[in-house]
């Protein structure tokens, strides 16, 4: 265990975790948050020990989770996802241990090109805030692909670039507006709508 006060925080790298998974065994029940059921969603998380991880994506409001949530997960992968060309097993969430203090905001952002979107993503990461291009990252997968390894040749929706992007942001209103404003001013034909609270 690392020296120092407080809970141990290590770095086991990024791992995909299925939030609000369907029960797999007899007697199991769906995870409820504040007495409510929420949609299943796979997100990337940073594992801080063998059983706990912090959400790095900005989950959709329907998942009942936020950027920065601390979750408990199991140790038996169901399916896989790729990152940087490497396969990572998808673990199942067991519980939401500590909700994030950052709200989930939503903004419609006009990105003339993919490069503009990448620069916006980098700007939020540099500020240690969450940003998710939901137009690109949110895909409805069939059960076979969701619990297996999604096949790029299996069509789940359009892939053409649309400059009007739906962004989820894990930040306060002031933090989000500052990053968006600086990004818009640093390029041509960039714009965004005022962030609104989504969750």
Residues of the chain where predicted confidence (pLDDT) is lower than 50: 1
- pLDDT value of residue 25: 84
- Parent domain of 55: 14-98
Q: Say if residue 92 is in the same domain as residue 126.
A: no
Q: How far apart are CA 179 and CA 143, in angstroms?
A: 37
Q: Say if residue 78 is in the same domain as residue 108.
A: no
Whole-structure pTM value: 0.87
Q: Say if residue 52 is in the same domain as residue 129.
A: no
- pLDDT value of residue 24: 84
Report the domain count for the chain.
Answer: 2
Evaluate whether residue 5 is within a structural domain.
no
Q: How far apart are CA 2 and CA 11, in angstroms?
A: 12
Q: Say if residue 155 is in the same domain as residue 181.
A: yes
Q: Say if residue 115 is in the same domain as residue 85.
A: no
Rg of the chain's alpha carbons, rounded to an integer? 17
Tell whether the torsion through CA atoms of 23, 25, 29 and 32 is positive or negative: negative
Q: Say if residue 80 is in the same domain as residue 110.
A: no
Q: What does the pLDDT look like over 115-173, one tens digit per residue?
A: 999 999 999 999 999 999 999 987 655 555 655 565 555 555 556 899 999 999 999 99
8-state DSSP, 61: G
Query: For the chain, give me the number of helices (H) and strands (E)?
Result: 4, 12
DSSP β-ladder status, 14-19 and 91-98: parallel
- pLDDT value of residue 78: 93
Domain boundary among 98, 125, 154: 98
Q: Say if residue 109 is in the same domain as residue 92.
A: no
- In this structure, the dihedral spanned by the alpha carbons of residues 188, 169, 20 and 79, taken in order and rounded to 10 degrees, is 40
Evaluate whether residue 55 is within a structural domain.
yes
Q: Say if residue 129 is in the same domain as residue 151.
A: yes
- pLDDT value of residue 1: 45
Residue 107: strand pairing partners: 167
- pLDDT value of residue 37: 96
Evaluate whether residue 1 is within a structural domain.
no
- pLDDT value of residue 8: 73
Domain boundary among 55, 74, 98: 98
Q: Say if residue 92 is in the same domain as residue 147.
A: no
- pLDDT value of residue 28: 84
Q: Say if residue 25 is in the same domain as residue 87.
A: yes
Domain boundary among 72, 98, 124: 98
């Amino acid at each position: 265990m690392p020296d120092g006060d407080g809970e141990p925080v290590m770095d086991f790298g990024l791992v995909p975790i299925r939030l609000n998974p369907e029960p797999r065994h007899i007697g199991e029940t769906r995870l409820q948050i504040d007495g409510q059921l929420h949609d299943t969603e796979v997100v990337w998380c940073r594992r801080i020990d063998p059983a706990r991880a912090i959400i790095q994506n900005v989950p959709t409001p329907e998942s009942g989770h936020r950027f920065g949530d601390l979750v408990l997960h199991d140790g038996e992968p169901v399916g896989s996802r790729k990152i940087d060309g490497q396969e990572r097993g998808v673990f199942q969430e067991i519980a939401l241990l500590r909700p994030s203090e950052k709200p989930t905001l939503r903004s419609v952002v006009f990105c003339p090109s993919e490069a503009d979107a990448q620069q916006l993503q980098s700007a939020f990461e540099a500020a240690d805030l969450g940003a998710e291009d939901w137009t690109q990252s949110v895909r409805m997968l069939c059960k076979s692909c969701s619990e297996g390894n999604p096949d790029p040749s299996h069509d789940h929706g359009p892939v053409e670039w649309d400059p009007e992007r739906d962004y989820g942001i894990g930040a306060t209103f002031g933090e989000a507006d500052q990053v968006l404003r600086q990004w818009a001013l640093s390029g041509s034909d960039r714009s965004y709508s005022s962030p609104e609270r989504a969750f």
